A and B are shown apart, each in its own frame.
Chain A
């Protein structure tokens, strides 16, 4: 592998890792703040992609699809928190698993009714079409570079909110000690609702952002759910920094795994997870190691 191909693969790995971070940070925050395990996280990733395809097909605008898809998902998150998730806080994990499994079936079927089960692709905005020619045979799509930039900006935004704002302070305190923050009279109902809806919106955003570079298909949520879980296991529950590290590790492992061990690339990330479990069972940035 020459240096240029290596650089391209590295870029692919980083970009994959960054998208994974967006989705997984939503998941880890919902775990950390609400203490609720949400298996339906991947379903919202899938739903976001389908929403983007649908809006783009009607309006012809990717930007509208992006804004509309995120907004719809956020509102859906608020509603679900109000109707279901709120009642799950403090219940055992088994009930949470079953509820979110039920939600997956419902979301999948509603998607089927509204959008069908066909595989689609979404066109990127016109000004991000095309590729940068690197050599005679090697080029890199502009959209992928833009995707990296957008993800980095969003990641910076997430860290800013968590580290520098009042909401972020509450979130950090909540992830540290849920009971104590509750006792301090912080409006947790409200925080929970926005964290959950925000988490859902991040998952949908991930699905929307990748829709121009990969296909939109019914099973895309499942794969993403498992990868997000592995990210959270690697990084530690509730840790956004851990999610960032875990996501980049997986992005790079998977990308280079496909290059070097194409047959077993999908197994590699689990080997990585097994290694981390042996070394630090609560994740790299998790509590109680």
Chain B
């Protein structure tokens, strides 16, 4: 395990934030836009991890929530100017919440493979709804000619048409989402959700309303994915059915696994890594998807622990880590070191892939 000293960690976070905030002042526009896109994917991966990592439920319909919120912005943007940010965002998120509640309530009646198939199917239902009908321009999608307007009492506060302003908004939203997710994971709700993941029967017999916990996690996660989708639609000025398709859901799942499910930040890092990798592959190879596919297969076999595992292989072990976890004496007597762990789910040992098998 790579563990940084808390002050070092805080310093690192502060530096990263400063560097991220300064990016539009230093880098060309292409990079600013690319970073916005990567952060939005990071937000979707972060949201999905609440369900997959902390809830233990493999959902394959998060792209549908992402895309639905994008379409909502499209519907609410008038032809002559931008939609009101204050109105369009809540409406978009509300629409996502309603749809996610219905899909979640139905899907959560099932377990394991069924849950995967059912979420996939409902996600594709939304895809076909926008693909096959005239709502939202059918398979051609629709353009959003103006970015939403953030105004107060008639005065425009921030001009989102400027890509640096848009970038800062996305950065602020991502930081907000990370803080929210961290709070959720540490909250009574987060602990109960992780308990239900590790042992559903026990969680129920202690009195936790497991179905409701999972449904709430599903809806909250869908809304954060929706926020990312709304911003993404605003950034590209275009929405198409592919935004809701399950290939995007699966790609986000790869980001989550790549970055690691045992922390809030892992999936964000995984998203950056995968988006960056895709960008490099795209510019170097005609058949880059072939390589992407092979990389995903390689991750499954060689790197189930994601980037964290890679870092552990490459970086030298730190000496002051304390004893490795496997020092339990063979006769089952307690470990004299009396090691303390973090919260049940943030403890990496409790979250190894092995404990994931009962999803």
Contact = CB atoms under 8 A, between A and B. Distances in A.
Interface of A: 31, 37, 39, 84, 87, 90-95, 97-99, 101-106, 108-110, 112-113, 222, 226, 229-230, 232-233, 237, 263-267, 270, 273-274, 277-278, 281-283
Given A92-B353, A105-B293, A281 B114 contact: yes
B95 interface: no
19 contacts: A90-B357, A92-B353, A93-B359, A94-B356, A94-B359, A98-B254, A98-B257, A102-B294, A102-B295, A102-B296, A102-B297, A103-B297, A109-B293, A230-B117, A266-B132, A270-B122, A270-B125, A281-B110, A282-B114
B191 interface: no
A99 B297 contact: yes
Contacts of A84: 297, 301
Interface string B313-329: 00000000000000000
Contact of B304 (A93, A95, A97): A95
B308 interface: no
B125 A267 contact: yes
Interface in B114-167: 114, 116-118, 120-122, 124-125, 128-129, 131-133
A267 B132 CA distance: 10
Contact of B106 (A95, A98, A263, A274): A274
A226 B127 CA distance: 11
Contacts of B297: 84, 99, 102-103, 106
Nearest to A270: B125
B273 interface: no
Nearest to B135: A263
Interface string B266-295: 000000000000000000000101101111
Contacts, number: 129
Contact of B116 (A97, A105, A106, A113): A97
Nearest to A237: B113
A92 B293 contact: no
B359 A109 contact: no
Interface string B48-83: 000010000010100000000000000000000000
B339 interface: no
B111 to A, nearest CB: 9
B257 A94 contact: yes
A105 B289 contact: yes
Interface residues of B, number: 48
B299 interface: yes
A222 B300 CA distance: 22
A-B complex: 9 closest residue pairs judged by Cβ atoms: A105-B293, A102-B296, A109-B290, A106-B293, A102-B297, A270-B125, A266-B128, A281-B109, A229-B117
Residue with the highest number of chain B CB atoms closer than 10 Å, among A263, A264, A273, A274:
A274
B350 interface: no
Contact of A37 (B116, B294, B356): B116
B250 interface: yes
Nearest to B290: A109
Given A95-B300, A233-B110, A283-B114, 6 more contacts: A39-B250, A95-B353, A97-B116, A101-B250, A109-B289, A270-B121
